[in-house]
C-alpha cells in the first residue's frame, strides 16, 4: 500500500516580503525571505504537506494566485502585507476560496499604526494569526495540517 500524496498548500506573500531580513528587522525580524521559504517547506514536509511559497509586489498576480487556489481547492496561507488594508480585488478573490485560507502577519497590526488596524481580508478568511514573527506561518501550517480530511 502506498502512502497518500502530500496535500498541496500555497503560502502567498504580498508586497515587500521578499525583503525580509533587511526590511525593518526591528518589526519583521532577521529571518530572510529564503529562510522563510526554507522553514515553511521543511515544516510542511514534517506535517505531510507540499508547501509552495510565493511572493509578489503585484496585486493582479496575487489575485491570479488566489483564483488558482480556488479552482484547485488548495488551502492558502496568505500574508497580504500592505494589500491587507485596501485591496478589495484581493479580498474578493480570497472570498472565492474553496479550501481553508488563513491570513497571517509577522507583526501584530493592531499594535502598529492605525491604518494597519483594518483588514479587508479577515472577514473572508478561515482565521487570522498575527504577531508571532515567522512563527505565524508555522502556526497556520499546523492548523491546516490538523484540518486534513479524514478517510
**Binding site feature residues:** 79, 85, 92, 106-107, 116
- Cite the active site residues: 28, 105
Binding residues for substrate: 79, 85, 92, 106-107, 116
DSSP assignment of 117-133 equals: G--SSGGGSSEEEESST
DSSP assignment of 76-118 equals: EEEE-GGGGGT-HHHHHHHTT-SS-EEEEESS-GGGS-GGGG-
Tell me 17's DSSP state. G
Amino acid at each position: 500500500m502506498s502512502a497518500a500524496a502530500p496535500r498541496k498548500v500555497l503560502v502567498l506573500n504580498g508586497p515587500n516580503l521578499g525583503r525580509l531580513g533587511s526590511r525593518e528587522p526591528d518589526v519583521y525580524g532577521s529571518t530572510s525571505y529564503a529562510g522563510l521559504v526554507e522553514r515553511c517547506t521543511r515544516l510542511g514536509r514534517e506535517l505531510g504537506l507540499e508547501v509552495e511559497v510565493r511572493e509578489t509586489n503585484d496585486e493582479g498576480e496575487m489575485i491570479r494566485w488566489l483564483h488558482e487556489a480556488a479552482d484547485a481547492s488548495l488551502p492558502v496561507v496568505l500574508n497580504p502585507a500592505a494589500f491587507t488594508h485596501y485591496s478589495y480585488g484581493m479580498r474578493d478573490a480570497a472570498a472565492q476560496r474553496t479550501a481553508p485560507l488563513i491570513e497571517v502577519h509577522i507583526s501584530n497590526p493592531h499594535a502598529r499604526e492605525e491604518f494597519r488596524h483594518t483588514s479587508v481580508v479577515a472577514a473572508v478568511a478561515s482565521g487570522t494569526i498575527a504577531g508571532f514573527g515567522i512563527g505565524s506561518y508555522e502556526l497556520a501550517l499546523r492548523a491546516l495540517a490538523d484540518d486534513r480530511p479524514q478517510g
